[in-house]
Structure 1
Amino acid sequence: MVFLFVLTAGPRTEAVETVAELAAGARALGHSVEVFMAGDGVAHAGALAGRMPVTLCEADLRWRQTQPPEIPGVRRGSLVDLARLCRDADRVMVFS
């Protein structure tokens, strides 16, 4: 099963930790995990990098005038990528 976690919550929430714990549990059970960060969620790129595939919304990075350094396992994408991830996922969970 493929789980997609969409994270739009800002830095003052526990959402990133919730996603990290749920994703770790899903992976421990043999499931695949993807994370798409949009809105204020793009601030969390470093928190999950290296633990699971992460895609950052390029438009939201531009809007916030944020360009995080290149982080292995973190790519920039668009809403087209989010649509593809949703199509390919068995379950989609949104944290905002």
Structure 2
Amino acid sequence: MDRYTLRYPVTLSFRQTSGEVREETISEITLRRPTAKEMRLVDRAGSGMVGLVISMLAILSGHDEDTIERIDAQDFAELADMVTDFLPSGRTAGKTG
């Protein structure tokens, strides 16, 4: 698993059933390696590159897409680099050499 410390932590607010507001700050994102099934699911989503990266980050970190969308652009770009390291580097499936 790869860990990334956010330069700009994300603070989320949750309204409790009692009416109180609870805040949670996310300052670190941990990514695990994707499975082939997860890669296929993201591929089927058919969105552009940013959408693909948001989906992959959500799947691999366990955070929902709304949380991922709140990440600062600089942190997002660095996390995107981490995610694209998981992707094949230009090779077509089934080809060798």
Please confirm whether the aligned pair reaches a TM-score higher than 0.5, indicating the same fold.
Answer: no
User: Greater relative contact order: 1 or 2 (C-alpha under 8 angstroms, separation 6 or more)?
Assistant: 1
Rg larger for: 2
TM-score relative to the length of structure 2: 0.30
TM-score relative to the length of structure 1: 0.30
